[in-house]
Amino acid sequence: MTDGPSYGFDTLQIHAGARPDPATGARQTPIYQTTAYVFRDADHAAALFNLQEVGFIYSRLTNPTVAVLQERLATLEGGVGAVCCSSGHAAQIMALFPLMGPGLNVVVSTRLYGGTVTQFSQTIKRFGWSAKFVDFDDLDAVKAAIDDDTRAIFCESIANPGGYITDLRAVADVADGAGIPLIVDNTSATPYLCRPIEHGATLVVHSTTKYLTGNGTVTGGCVIDSGTFDWSASDKFPSLSAPEPAYHGLKFHETFGNLAYTFHGIAIGLRDLGMTMNPQAAHYTLMGIETLSLRMERHVENTVKIAKWLEADDRVDFVTYAGLESSPYFDRVKTVCPKGAGALFTFAVKGGYEACVKLVDSLEIFSHVANLGDTRSLVIHSASTTHRQLTPEQQEAAGAAPNVVRLSIGIEDADDLIADLDQALAKAAG
Ligand SMILES: *Cc1c(COP(=O)(O)O)cnc(C)c1O
């Protein structure tokens, strides 16, 4: 189909990027299980390698099944292009790679997925990059953290693990003022609940492992470019604006315009870092996205019911869900994610660490796993698992204190989930 701007989300989640297979007429997108593609002739091969013609060379760079997913995600997020990668963590490195270099830094929110805190506070130092962690509810602190060596701002739209909502427009204005891109991890929200580009984000990253695939089958990631950032406005982004020695002095921004970042992601990022999504993974994720809106509606509906029930229970100290009127983020839901505050939140169990561990071990429908965004309901005690590598101060700042349990609410019957929580809370209190 032609991706007319008039199509609604439910239509685009099924059709965007896909067309009947030109070779066979197959209606579903085939899994193109191939490593390489035959060149028409030597001139065709040369044109592809010179980036003068767009086409398929080798599946580390591009693959037709993965290309459909890229186009679908770019469309759903309102971007101009997308690059899929092997995991959400790969997507984060791929997102930063064209912007960063030794000695440069990124200003990031303290409220992030635990693995991201570790990736940013430890591992990226090996590249000579660094991250400055700031409370993104304090915009003056965000501004103060930006210096001449800052090349991006990074946050989550609905932030892990507590389901906090970031004021994306306000943060985007700070990024604009500093002449640097805002990167938003939109994993917990999905483009159904929040479209960060409409709030001023330059780039969106996803762990497609979560709600986009939706049922815990494959890991994957994606970087989506809004196409709105002027990479040549300053000399801060030479990978995109200056001559590229690996392509005979080609300048990406001058040559590819608003697709510069996407082309760079494929032609340099995937080519040389090799964090490629495989076509099987793309297939599972495409299957998942076809029902994204239906699942997200039920995820949100169940989460509102369960968060309200927990908040009213004596055995619970507090519930962080932004969809509750008691949440300091309740008003932000209306502007940032009006269809709902997602399906991820934490709650504090009276009795602290011991009670939390007992609760997790007593739940029967909820699975104790290090994942989120599954059709199944999931539970984890962050302080003893995903946020275990963090210092107590980092745990507290990230919303993963020892007395807190994180839930990822699935699409089962809400009443069954409430009954399960009820019996487990009784055991935890006993
Ligand atoms: C899971 C997750 C990641 C990392 O994604 P992987 O696919 O596990 O590498 C990053 N950000 C958020 C918000 C996540 O939930």
The pLDDT assigned to 383 comes to 85
Atom number, ligand 1, closest to the C-alpha of residue 112: 13
Atom number, ligand 1, closest to the C-alpha of residue 209: 7
283 shares its domain with 323? no
- Decide which of 288, 303, 338 is a domain's last residue: 288
299 shares its domain with 284? no
The pLDDT assigned to 225 comes to 98
In 192-292, at which residue ranges do the beta strands (DSSP E only) sit?
203-207, 221-225
Atom number, ligand 1, closest to the C-alpha of residue 187: 13
Is residue 129 in a domain?
no
Listing from the earlier edge strand, what are the strands of the sheet with 150-156? 81-85, 221-225, 203-207, 182-185, 150-156, 105-109, 130-134
Is residue 112 in a domain?
no
358 shares its domain with 262? no
The pLDDT assigned to 62 comes to 95
Is residue 136 in a domain?
no
Contact 307, 299 (CB under 8 A): no
What is the count of structural domains for the chain?
2
What is the percent of the chain with per-residue pLDDT over 90, rounded to a whole number? Answer: 88
Strand partners, 131: 106
Distance 207 CA to ligand 1 centre (A): 5
pLDDT 10s digits, 347-361: 999 999 899 999 999
* Among 223, 290, 296, CA closest to 18: 290
281 shares its domain with 309? no
CA distances from 359 to 85, 98, 107, 343, 427 (A): 36, 44, 36, 19, 7
Q: How many residues make up the chain in this entry?
A: 430
pLDDT 10s digits, 251-293: 999 999 999 999 999 999 999 999 999 999 999 999 999 999 9
Average pLDDT of span 24-41:
96
Residue of 207, 223, 369 to test ligand 1 pocket, by largest number of atoms within 8 Å of CB: 207
Distance 46 CA to ligand 1 centre (A): 38
Atom number, ligand 1, closest to the C-alpha of residue 221: 7
CATH number at residue 298: 3.90.1150.10
Q: What's the chain's average pLDDT? A: 95
pLDDT 10s digits, 172-182: 999 999 999 99
The pLDDT assigned to 1 comes to 52
- Decide which of 235, 270, 288 is a domain's last residue: 288
The pLDDT assigned to 373 comes to 94
Average pLDDT of span 72-83:
98
**CA-based torsion, 402, 356, 406, 91: positive or negative:** positive
320 shares its domain with 275? no
Q: Tokens representing 123?
A: 């591992």
The pLDDT assigned to 6 comes to 84
Atom number, ligand 1, closest to the C-alpha of residue 91: 9
Assess whether pLDDT exceeds 60 at residue 221.
yes
Question: pTM for the whole thing?
Answer: 0.96
Distance 312 CA to ligand 1 centre (A): 31
Residue of 156, 160, 222 to test ligand 1 pocket, by largest number of atoms within 8 Å of CB: 160
Indicate the residue type of 336.
Answer: V
310 shares its domain with 284? no
Is residue 54 in a domain?
yes
Number of C-beta neighbours around residue 174 at 10 A: 20
- Decide which of 270, 288, 306 is a domain's last residue: 288
Is residue 118 in a domain?
no
Assess whether pLDDT exceeds 80 at residue 397.
no
Residues near ligand 1 (Cβ within 6 A) = 87-89, 113, 115-116, 156, 160, 185, 187-188, 207, 209-210, 219, 221, 372
Contact 405, 339 (CB under 8 A): no
Residue of 209, 223, 371, 386 to test ligand 1 pocket, by largest number of atoms within 8 Å of CB: 209
335 shares its domain with 413? yes
Phi, psi (rounded to 5 degrees) for 285: -70, -40
256 shares its domain with 302? no
pLDDT 10s digits, 104-138: 999 999 999 888 999 999 999 999 999 999 999 99
pLDDT category of residue 386 using cuts at 50, 70 and 90:
confident
Is residue 343 in a domain?
yes
pLDDT category of residue 203 using cuts at 50, 70 and 90:
very high
pLDDT 10s digits, 141-151: 999 999 999 99
Indicate the residue type of 113.
Answer: Y
282 shares its domain with 398? no
pLDDT 10s digits, 78-99: 999 999 999 999 999 999 999 9
Is residue 163 in a domain?
no
Is residue 275 in a domain?
yes
pLDDT category of residue 313 using cuts at 50, 70 and 90:
very high
Which residues are within 8 A (CB) of 64 and not within 5 positions of it... i.e. 6 or more apart?
A: 30, 32, 56, 279
301 shares its domain with 265? no
Assess whether pLDDT exceeds 60 at residue 3.
no
* Among 398, 152, 414, 190, CA closest to 293: 190
The pLDDT assigned to 4 comes to 53
Domain that holds residue 198: 9-99+181-288
CATH number at residue 92: 3.40.640.10
The pLDDT assigned to 5 comes to 59
Which residues are within 8 A (CB) of 291 and not within 5 positions of it... i.e. 6 or more apart?
A: 13, 214
Residue by residue, DSSP assigns 411-428 as SS-HHHHHHHHHHHHHHH
Number of C-beta neighbours around residue 297 at 10 A: 15
Average pLDDT of span 138-161:
96
Contact 153, 183 (CB under 8 A): yes
Among 185-194, 211-220, 376-385, the minimum mean pLDDT is found in 376-385
Distance 380 CA to ligand 1 centre (A): 15
Q: Tokens representing 138?
A: 């304090």
Residue of 187, 217, 277 to test ligand 1 pocket, by largest number of atoms within 8 Å of CB: 187
93 shares its domain with 190? yes
Q: Does the N-terminal peptide bond of residue 102 adopt cis geometry, omega within 30 degrees of 0? A: no
283 shares its domain with 370? no
